[in-house]
């Protein structure tokens, strides 16, 4: 299966991290990056990661594939954005608010695709993303100027489990990605 630019960028980020840890030299990084940016298929990326710690790549199509098509845009302004219960989650979401809070609860939602891409453009509002128990979430692409980003979920996608790619920026708000918990019959 062909890979996307986002897939190449994730591998490049792993290589840059390996350089920062002293696992590869600058020359090795340059060599490997030329392979990465010339790669067309997931299997082309395995050799550049095979001698680094961890699983080189999970090459299943549902993990590597980046959702395509225009994103569904949710705008909240100062009123915020809330989605919970039974709703169909698009492959790509763009959430924009200036002051309002964002709550996206994916626990009871229908996830037609295994990978959901979420772009956050937040002003001073906060965002809470509640994901199913077995989900993974990569928040490395999220930049916060004066707020915080929290996720205790595994960031590496796992075959057969929902995976959320969260990126974008927040000016002064906080972002939390976690599973939902229940207390006294209520979900939080």
Spell out the SS3 assignment of 102-154. Answer: EEEECCCCECCCCEEEEEEEECCCCEEEEECCCCEEEEEEEEECCCCEEECCC
Cβ atoms within 10 Å of 143's Cβ, excluding its own: 13
What sign does the dihedral 150-154-156-161 (CA atoms) show?
negative
| Residue that is written with structure tokens 């709703």 in the block | 87
Digit-coded pLDDT (tens) for 17-68: 888 889 899 999 999 999 999 988 777 887 888 887 765 555 444 444 556 6
Tens of pLDDT, residue by residue over 152-188, are: 999 988 888 999 999 999 999 899 999 988 777 776 6
């Amino acid at each position: 299966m062909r890979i996307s630019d986002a897939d190449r960028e994730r591998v490049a980020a792993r290589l840059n991290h390996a350089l920062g840890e002293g696992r590869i030299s600058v020359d090795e990084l340059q060599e490997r990056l030329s392979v990465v940016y010339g790669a067309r298929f997931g299997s082309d990326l395995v050799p550049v990661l095979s001698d680094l710690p961890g699983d080189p790549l999970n090459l299943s199509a549902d993990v590597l594939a980046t959702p395509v098509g225009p994103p569904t845009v949710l705008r909240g302004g100062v009123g915020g954005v809330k989605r919970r219960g039974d709703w169909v989650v698009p492959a790509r979401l763009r959430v924009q608010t200036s002051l309002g809070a964002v709550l996206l609860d994916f626990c009871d939602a229908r996830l037609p695709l295994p990978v959901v891409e979420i772009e956050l453009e937040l002003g001073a509002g906060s965002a809470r993303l509640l994901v199913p128990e077995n989900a993974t979430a990569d928040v490395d692409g999220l930049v916060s100027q004066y707020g915080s980003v929290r996720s205790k979920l595994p960031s590496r996608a796992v075959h057969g489990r929902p995976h959320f790619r969260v990126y974008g920026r927040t000016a002064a708000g906080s972002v939390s990605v976690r599973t939902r918990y229940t207390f006294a019959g209520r979900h939080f």
